[in-house]
Structure 1
Amino acid sequence: MPAHHARTDIEAGPGPQTGQAEASVSVPFRYADVPRLTRFADVLDETRYVPVPDTWWIALCDVVMSTRAIEDGRYRSVNIAGAALITAVKNALPGADLAFVFGGDGATLLVPPEDRDTVATVLSETATWVREAHALNLRVALIPVSAVREAGRDLRIARYAASAHVDYAMFSGGGVAYADSAMKRGLHAIPAAPAGAKPDLTGLSCRFEAVSARDGLVLSLIALPEEGADPEAVLATLGAILAEVDASPGMGRPLPESGPPMRPPWSGLAADARAEGTLAGSRLLRGAAMFVTRGAAFALFSLGLPFGRFSPRRYRRRLAANADFRKYDDGLRLTVACPVATADRIEARLALAQEAGLVRYGVHRQDAAVVTCVSPSVLRDDHIHFVDGADGGYARAAAMLKRRS
């Protein structure tokens, strides 16, 4: 991905072992310079993370009462709302190398100081669009990193290369968890834009079918360290969970190498037309145009035939390779396909670790995974794809974790 060339001087943040701020010489910070990890297990190595500047910002959003919306069968709208902020910021800052995390019913992004006002506008527009297009309340906030450290937490970042073309941000230090809690308490809130506002959501789509588990189930998992727990024991537990996943068929990948099948052009058409248009007439025209466009895409993907420079088969293979189905965001978050026996062993490990005061966790089992795509150009290989469970995934796992807390 192209680099964003803004530079900011910072003091080195907390070390990986002490977690306390230490004075040091100023060094330039660019997210583009953060080393890319190629083994996912390395995200558990705190020495791989670098501190984020105090002058940067954390942009967050989350769908209020997302679990209820999922219970009402609106999981696709919840996922779209969570991915919309990432899409809108990418479009508002073309060429920027963005650090972001998709959370199923929300998202987190890092923002350099010079882009703060642009992202604030995107946040407010996204909240309005989600309310008007999907009848969901999207909470949004913009929190200074300095506030994280004033609260006694840290914010450190690494980047994991899912493929040669796409990488995803990983966070440690408790800063994202603090920012999420602050947002839910109403701190640093960004008000919604006036009615009718809409950010640029070019490339945001959800046009692929749910992918059934090939041999077992799809497990969504969130495992967070307990306050004051022995860090080495926590990391050993999380490492054992990753080892269980890696030993399962396909190393837990929920999507086949050939990518998921495309949904038929009429699937979700009325809801999508309603989201795009405001007047009845415009919705009708929008729906007709969508059907034609989607019908052509459905035919191309179904036949697998290239069209000019575009190869549907290549796109779907890249989709599977680029998929974001595992992350580290102040804890381990996975949506993986695995046998029932593997899920049982993972849950048993987590239960023992929770009894020992090492972790808090939430899990949710379902029979399929869904993917939400951000693909501004089908001719490039750096399109990104967020995987979640088809029956609420991360949101249901988070609800279980909350009940256990």
Structure 2
Amino acid sequence: MTTDTFYASLPKVRDFSALSDPSVFAPLPGDWLLCCTDIVNSTGLVKAGRYKTVNMVGAAVIAAMRNALEGEAFPYVFGGDGASFAVPPGRRGTTQRVLGSLRSWTDAEYGVSLRAAVLPVSRIRAEGLDAQVARYAASEHADFAMFSGGGLAWAEAQMKAGAFEVAPAPQAPPPDLAGLSCRWSNTPARHGIILSVVAHPAPGASLQDFAGLAAELLEFAAELEDSGHPVPESGPRLRFPPEGLTLEAKASRGRLPLFLRQLYLLGHCAFAALLLLSKRPAGSFDPVHYLSMLRAHSDFRKFDDGLKMTLDCTPAIRDRIRHRLERAAAEGLVQFGLHEQDAAMVTCIVPSPVEDDHIHFVDGAAGGYTQAAANLAAAFVSGRKTA
């Protein structure tokens, strides 16, 4: 294994609960680059009702990098209001071009300010932290990266402070966002609550002790129907015209006039909706199989320097999760934030509807991870003032 093929050579973990064990994570090579993005004032955008836009921009980072790397495997994680990823050193130029283009594009198309930073993994280790990754196989055709070690959270804090910045590139061509879409309507909770959970190890806490807590939380979630998966077997809701039509048109229009791209997508969505509603194959597209893969390839839980989950949750399990986290916080083990809403949303990257490599990012529909993280930050500041 060379440093460039590090991630492609990682063994895939097929049991999600095994990811609570720190030993399944491998350290990123020291010459790799850790890259992170997030949206300025995402909490304000949530309050203004623009969380679908927030999710779209976060997923756009991943879509643009996947397209730029032309199928090369690399670790990435969707965070709701941004995304983080790692690349080998030979991809520095590509990464900086893509991120610079994205910063200008999101501002021009959506009026959203995107931060971006790139830094070497060795810089994280110089701070006494680490950046470790595992590869979770959602199926034979798609997998998701998981991060651990505290380095990603430190890098994000540095980015918000203005360090390691990738500057906007207003003269760059629009990023290639082929495959990015947000056509699905919000998916209502079937068991009372869509619960967004963000839990990070507290400063100085043992990663092994946090792993034990994460395993407990996953056991609680396992008592829910389908472990709390918020996407039903029938798939998300589909309305016509799609709520995210204009967002998708802006992401895929290139230099076309917006209304022409909207008209094209309107016809395309109408045809796709008929196929999905009929449940009958058309050519090489099987709508029933597609929906089953959509559900299997949805990232409703992840390790991202901590544990994040979007759960279709009962009030009873919500209370057990909250009480266990409150007890762990009192013991100095965890910092956490929760947010409740009545629906989940799905943002998709579908290179081809007839292939099985499509992936789907799940978040709460009314603030989700962004609001849960804001609640975590508020609780941390309150705790410091009390201390």
Q: TM-score, normalising length from structure 1?
A: 0.90
CA deviation profile, 1:101-143 (whole Å, cap 9, x unmatched): 0000010111111111011101011111111111100001111
Q: Label 1:55 to 1:247 Cα distance change in 2 as closer, same or farther (>3 A).
A: same
What corresponds to 2:304 in structure 1?
Answer: 329
Is this contact kept in 1: 2:10–2:134, CA < 8 A?
yes
2:151 maps to 1:175:
yes
Aligned mate of 2:341, from 359, 366, 372: 366
Counterpart of 1:134 (choices 106, 110, 133) is: 110
User: Do the aligned residues in 1 keep the contact of 2:138 with 2:144 (CA within 8 Å)?
Assistant: yes
1:88 aligns with: 64
AA in 1 matched with 2:327: L
Identity %: 43
Deviations 1:86-111 (A, max 9, x none): 10011011120121000000101111
Q: What displacement does 1:277 show?
A: 5.5
**Aligned residue runs from structure 1 range 53-202, under 5 A:** 53-194=29-170, 197-202=173-178
What is the CA-CA distance between 1:253 and the residue it aligns to? 0.7
The answer (yes or no) to whether the contact 1:257–1:321 under 8 Å persists in 2 is no
- Do the aligned residues in 2 keep the contact of 1:276 with 1:283 (CA within 8 Å)? no
What amino acid maps onto 2:165 in structure 1?
A
Structure with more relative contact order (C-alpha pairs < 8 Å, separation 6 or more): 2
Tell me whether 1:376 sits opposite 2:351 in the alignment: yes
Tell me which amino acid in the other structure corresponds to 1:171. Answer: F
Residue of structure 2 equivalent to 1:265: 241
The alpha-carbon distance between structure 1 residues 350 and 74, as it changes in their structure 2 partners (threshold 3 A), is: same
1:182 & 1:233 partners in 2: Cα distance? 26
Q: Which shifted more, 377-386 or 162-171?
A: 162-171
> Quick one: which amino acid aligns to residue 331 of structure 1?
G
Provide closer, same or farther for how the CA distance between residues 399 and 301 of structure 1 changes in structure 2, counting only shifts above 3 A. Answer: same
**1:225 and 2:201 correspond:** yes
Q: Is the alpha carbon distance of 1:149 and 1:366 closer, same or farther for their aligned partners in structure 2, counting shifts above 3 Å?
A: same
User: Please, which of 205, 213, 234 is the counterpart of residue 181 of structure 2?
Assistant: 205
Aligned 8 A contact 1:101 1:109 in 2: yes
Q: Distance between the aligned counterparts of 1:337 and 1:379, measured in 2? A: 29
Question: 1:397 aligns to what?
Answer: 372
Given that 2:56 and 2:247 are in contact with CA atoms closer than 8 Å, whether structure 1 keeps it comes out as no
Name the residue aligned to 2:2. 7
Give the deviation of 1:267 after TM superposition: 3.1
Any conservation in 1 of the 2:100–2:169 contact (CA below 8 Å)?
A: yes
What per-residue deviation string (whole Å, max 9, x for no partner) do you get for residues 1-57 of structure 1? Answer: xxxxx9328xxxxxxxxxxxxxxxxxxx52011111111111111111111111100
Pair 391,336 (structure 1): closer, same or farther in 2 beyond 3 Å: same
AA at the equivalent of 2:158: A
CA separation of 1:382/1:65 partners in 2, compared to 1, >3 Å: closer, same or farther? same
Q: Is the 8 A contact 1:323 1:384 kept in 2?
A: yes
CA positional deviation for 1:332: 0.6
1:133–1:276 Cα contact (<8 Å) kept: no
For residue 334 of structure 1, what is the amino acid of its counterpart? M
Residue deviations 1:367-391 (CA, integer Å, cap 9, x gap): 1111100011111111110000011
The whole-number CA distance in structure 2 between the counterparts of 1:274 and 1:33 is: 36
What is the CA distance between 1:234 and its match in structure 2? Answer: 2.3
Residue ranges of structure 2 left out of the alignment (5+ in a row): 381-387
Q: Given the superposition, is the C-alpha separation of residues 343 and 277 from structure 1 closer, same or farther in structure 2, using an over 3 Å criterion?
A: same
Query: Following TM superposition, by how much is the alpha carbon of 1:235 offset from its aligned partner in structure 2, in angstroms?
Result: 2.2
Residues 344 and 309 of structure 1: CA distance in aligned 2, closer, same or farther (over 3 Å): same
Q: CA deviation at 1:275?
A: 5.6
Partner Cα separation in structure 1 for residue 9 and residue 252 of structure 2: 38
Q: Residue 230 and residue 268 in structure 1: after superposition, are their counterparts in 2 closer, same or farther (change >3 A)?
A: closer
Q: 1:383 to 1:278 in 2, by over 3 A?
A: closer
1:300 deviates by: 1.5
1:342 aligns with 2:317: yes
How far, CA to CA, are the matches of 2:231 and 2:252 in structure 1? 29
Q: Per-residue displacement from partner, 1:279-331 (whole Å, max 9, x unpaired)?
A: 9x922322222211121112221222222101112111100011101111111
The answer to whether the 8 Å contact 1:159/1:169 transfers is: yes
Cα separation, 2, equivalents of 1:284 and 1:262: 22
Q: State the superposition RMSD in angstroms.
A: 1.8
Q: Aligned partners of 2:49 and 2:333: how far apart in 1?
A: 34
Residues in 2 aligned to 1:49 and 1:83: alpha-carbon distance in whole angstroms:
24
Please say if residues 45 and 54 of structure 2, whose CA atoms lie closer than 8 Å, have aligned partners that are also in contact.
yes
